[in-house]
Chains A and B, each alone.
Chain A
């Protein structure tokens, strides 16, 4: 998957978790949680959805690497390169 495709997947997953999520003014380098008013339970859903779709096991200590949209893409790019 390309970086843009990964970004779209993340946004699609978030939109599915929260039907009110507004991406219009999203800063890709600022924490997703604060900007979208998500909590740790929502965050777990992003991880779970990635596991369900791509059989990706993300250990809990690596959750912080999913903090911003850019860091998500950086973290997922090598893991999803053959998808």
Chain B
């Protein structure tokens, strides 16, 4: 008898959610996290006594308590967490800013439609038609890849507006370059433009603590600083893992959330890791500015999606960073959050993993300074100047992401090709998390839940 019925690699949101499901129904489970904190891509770190979040700008899929079929509420029921445990705050409102044109949107989907009627009056009827098509589309049906861009070309016939709509959906949930699968587009359209943004009160630390507490209350075990070195296979079956310190842990089944390329490496799975290595990674710059100097910057906006240029190129840049498009997030701008003395501004831009990886240690430090400045300057064109008011600034690159999360090449949305059924060549090794298919915080948790329901509980 193995020591555990289920071993989960990775204490990110998909791994913790998977753990809660398994432990809740009596499956003896051990969760292994390499880092000393939970959260994976959505974690936090402490600098100069201040807690800074990684990953989270906002959660998508906002839903009121009574909407039982809304992904957020299904997720909470599956984890047996009452909404009463959470204090949720909706966004104040967001904006898509492209070369002089602006569309605002909020959690009331009417606002976006009104804005499109104002800025693209000739296209608003076609936009309404698109909403109907999206409402009727089943994104979970098992159908071949379809181009979202082609769908928008056919039905919207307004390339500039198509790019404006695509940017938030791609940057918050598209692992592919240039285009996205229509099913994923529909999932993201609903998650962002129809359900909308919110965040839990407090920080990511409290949110993660709550999930970890739930897991432990059901008897789930968790070990931090326990990096897995190898997934052990005998006679065609996984029998457990060996940790970096040499310790062997036996298990009847293993669920890996480390991504397909990393899982291949750990398990000697003979596949093509390159095919499953995502190309989209990002650099994020966090700046803190005193509240007295920040009011003009934030203008009650939660997130600004910006682009400067004729057509949007959602792809790995040719340089270390592409500041021509990106996301500016004000994590303090959710309704009902207490005002902080220092306002946070987070700027996210596409970054090239291989170029960052190729730098020497010294050149890396210099490049980080240079591109942090470039990202800050690019954002100033859209929100106004704040460079001189910054009291603290920090950036993380694709290399930082890879180091802390093991996501190959720091690809936050994982592989462009997903393995939706979570199955691997071994009958008792499964995948969950970004490379299984659901993205974002809500998506990652649903991924862990779905895979455990399907392969462990049944």
Contact = CB atoms under 8 A, between A and B. Distances in A.
Given A51-B25, A52-B26, A41 B68 contact: no
Interface residues of A, number: 17
A45 interface: yes
A41 B453 contact: yes
B387 interface: no
A39 B66 CA distance: 14
B457 A37 contact: no
Contacts of A51: 25
B69 A37 contact: yes
A67 B316 CA distance: 50
Interface string A35-48: 00111011011001
A11 interface: no
A18 B65 CA distance: 11
B74 A37 contact: no
Interface string B113-151: 000000000000000000000000000000000000000
Q: Which of the listed residues A19, A37, A42 has the most CB atoms from chain B within 10 Å of its own CB?
A: A19
A4 interface: no
Interface in A17-75: 17-20, 37-39, 41-42, 44-45, 48-49, 51-52, 60
B101 interface: no
B347 interface: no
Contact of B74 (A41, A48, A49): A41
Contacts of A60: 458
A13 B78 CA distance: 13
B25 A20 contact: no
Interface of A is mostly: helix
Interface in B63-100: 65-66, 68-69, 74, 77-78, 80, 82
B14 to A, nearest CB: 16
Contact of A20 (B24, B68, B78): B68
Contacts of A45: 77-78
Contacts, number: 35
Given A37-B68, A44-B453, A52-B25, A18 B77 contact: yes
Contact of B82 (A19, A38, A41, A48): A19
Contacts of B458: 44, 60
B77 A17 contact: yes
B411 interface: no
B69 to A, nearest CB: 6
Contacts of B80: 16-17
Contact of B78 (A37, A41, A49): A41
Contacts of A41: 74, 77-78, 449, 453
Contacts of A17: 77, 80
Given A52-B25, A52-B26, A44 B457 contact: yes
Nearest to A42: B77
A82 B455 CA distance: 31
Contacts of A44: 453, 457-458
Contact of A39 (B24, B25, B74, B449): B74
A49 B78 CA distance: 12
A60 B457 CA distance: 11
Contacts of A48: 24-25, 457
Nearest to A51: B25
A54 B76 CA distance: 25
A45 B452 CA distance: 12
Q: Which of the listed residues A20, A38, A60 has the most CB atoms from chain B within 10 Å of its own CB?
A: A20
B188 to A, nearest CB: 21
B227 to A, nearest CB: 32
Given A39-B74, A48-B457, 11 more contacts: A20-B66, A41-B74, A41-B77, A41-B453, A42-B74, A44-B453, A44-B458, A45-B77, A45-B78, A48-B25, A51-B25
10 contacts: A16-B80, A38-B68, A39-B69, A39-B74, A41-B77, A41-B449, A41-B453, A44-B457, A48-B24, A48-B457
